[in-house]
A = this chain, B = another copy of it.
């Protein structure tokens, strides 16, 4: 036996058992280890690999269970005579795959759709000492073992079959039930299950709405500043995109612009990115304008649970007597973004069509993710989680506010209820892109404001700093570095 085949790397995050098992399986599949071939004794292989004998024994045993090895009395293990093999491919000529002049596939992309500028957020944000990144979760605050228990239940024999099947147009009724009974009533919205579609995060809800409702002549209005991906989504369908400024009470009701609007995208409860809240009077006035000028309103109610400064105000949708508001909720901020679960609320007939489009696009969000989230919520872990986040974020926010005051950074956030970030206006001459680059060198991560504005090429002196993923003890130091770096960049 060729022990030399195997080589474990103790510095890898992957466990040694897992590494060994993967290498053995790979060797059997490729027939580097032949069926019937005798495996080295666990003692011998353990010595060779410098691991405990138990590690080898456990791996051998698990390979017996999955049909790769067979035990032999008094002589250890052999490769199973009918172990799986990577099947041979007839008449294969690898050289074919590299010959010939390649065509330029990317050049065939329909040019009108070439307007994508998705933000490339750094994925190594955990490596930054001062990570003021927005929208990633702090796993020290997440009740991970409870989530794992819920996942185990969703993956259990009782649920597995139904969750693993093709749902067709449907969603997990447990999850929809929770949204109907708990999430929406908290926002003042009373709905029935046919009014709700589960989506792959709020972004997917925005995309589905855009695809169904926007044609080339459709006139869109968005907030300025606004969520950058939203701009890319709507610009994929129409060039008629106008912006209206946001003040301390959210979107300014500029009737001249709204009068020629078909679809308005708005974040009334925590404006993105400024986190300001629109007061009830302005909400009512907005809905009256929608009725008067016959436009629809898409309400992205992101972070609605993060109301630790005051009780939440009801959603715009709760005031919507005409069915003009399409409501979007998300679990990305309160659970975790990699889960990709959100929802859309609208009329039954509209949801039915959205369901059909979702089916064509990807069918449905995975069943196990839906059920795991449903259990997590139904068992009360979700509410505990929100409570914990709000407590921690409240103290972090206070610390950050004090640091901003101390170092004279101008907070343009007028959040009444909470949120997870501040929107900072730097000196007029500041180039926030340059600031972000300089800060990266000092292990500080901020989000420059440029992409939040319709004119992306314009230099922006705004930036966003979030406290959702940074420990309280590092906040003051991080803000101080930002201040000093701004000063260093002064002309």
Contact = CB atoms under 8 A, between A and B. Distances in A.
A312 B18 contact: no
Contacts of A101: 322
A482 B340 CA distance: 43
B164 A339 contact: yes
Given A94-B190, A136-B165, A339-B366, A322 B380 contact: no
A105 interface: yes
Contacts of A349: 104-106
A441 interface: no
A316 to B, nearest CB: 11
Contacts of A340: 362-366
Contacts of A383: 25, 29, 84, 86
A488 interface: no
Interface in A371-415: 375, 378-381, 383-384, 386-387
A169 interface: yes
B322 A103 contact: yes
A458 to B, nearest CB: 22
Interface in A155-206: 155-161, 163-170, 182, 185-190, 199-201, 203-204
Contacts of A96: 318-321
A360 B203 contact: yes
Interface in A17-36: 18, 21-22, 25, 28-29
A86 B185 contact: yes
Nearest to A23: B378
A68 to B, nearest CB: 6
B361 A361 contact: yes
Given A21-B380, A109-B213, A380-B28, A166 B104 contact: no
A229 interface: yes
A204 B379 contact: no
A472 interface: no
Given A67-B384, A151-B151, A189 B97 contact: yes
Interface stretch (A1-9, A110-118, A239-247, A426-434): A110-118
A454 interface: no
A113 B163 contact: no
Interface string A202-241: 0110010001111100100000000001001100100000
B366 A338 contact: yes
Protomer copies: 2
A256 interface: no
Given A66-B143, A322-B102, A151 B161 contact: no
Nearest to A342: B362
Contact of A102 (B22, B63, B323): B323
A367 B147 CA distance: 15
A440 interface: no
Given A110-B214, A356-B118, A313 B25 contact: no
Contact of A148 (B152, B204, B211, B361): B152
A91 interface: yes
A236 to B, nearest CB: 7
Given A84-B384, A169-B118, A366 B366 contact: yes
Nearest to A19: B378
Given A21-B380, A203-B363, A338-B366, A109 B165 contact: no
A228 B104 CA distance: 30
Given A165-B136, A185-B86, A212-B110, A99 B207 contact: no
Given A66-B381, A186-B87, A203-B360, A152 B153 contact: no
A47 to B, nearest CB: 24
B362 A203 contact: yes
Given A18-B153, A151-B368, 13 more contacts: A15-B158, A66-B143, A89-B314, A91-B314, A96-B320, A99-B321, A100-B322, A102-B323, A123-B170, A203-B361, A207-B361, A338-B368, A365-B366
23 contacts: A15-B158, A25-B378, A66-B143, A87-B312, A89-B312, A96-B320, A97-B320, A98-B321, A105-B326, A106-B347, A106-B349, A109-B353, A118-B356, A135-B166, A136-B166, A137-B164, A139-B161, A147-B155, A166-B332, A200-B200, A201-B362, A204-B362, A207-B360
